Amino acid sequence: MSLDATDKRILKTLQRKGRMPNAELSEVVNLSPSACHRRVQRLEKDGYIRDYVALLDARKMCVPTTVFVEITLQGQADEVLEAFEKAVRLIPDVLECHLMAGSADYLLKVVAENTDDFARIHRQYLARLPGVGQMQSSFALRTVFKTTALPV
How confident is the model over 15-68, as pLDDT tens digits? 999 999 999 999 999 999 999 999 999 999 999 999 999 999 999 999 999 999
pLDDT(1) > 90: no
Vertex 126 angle, CA 99 and 78, to 5°: 40
Residues 70-75 have a mean pLDDT of 96
Confidence of residue 92 (pLDDT cuts 50, 70, 90): very high
Spatial CB neighbours of 33, under 8 Å, sequence gap ≥ 6? 22, 23, 26
Q: Quick one: pLDDT at residue 110? A: 98
Residues 114-118 have a mean pLDDT of 98
pLDDT mean across residues, the chain:
96
**Domains of the chain: which residue ranges?**
5-45, 65-139
Q: Quick one: pLDDT at residue 5? A: 96
Q: For 121-151, write each residue's pLDDT tens digit.
A: 999 999 999 999 999 999 999 999 999 999 9
Q: Quick one: pLDDT at residue 69? A: 98
Q: Quick one: pLDDT at residue 11? A: 97
Same fold for the pair 5-45 and 65-139: no
Residues 80-102 have a mean pLDDT of 97
- Is 31 within 8 Å of 9 (Cβ atoms)? no
Give CA–CA dist 110/118, Å, rounded. 8
Q: Does domain 5-45 sit in CATH 2.40.110.10? A: no
Q: Quick one: pLDDT at residue 55? A: 94
Q: Quick one: pLDDT at residue 4? A: 96
Q: Quick one: pLDDT at residue 57? A: 96
Please give the C-alpha separations between residue 20 and each of 27, 41, 52, 103, 138, in angstroms, as whole numbers. 11, 14, 11, 43, 37
CATH number at 65-139: 3.30.70.920
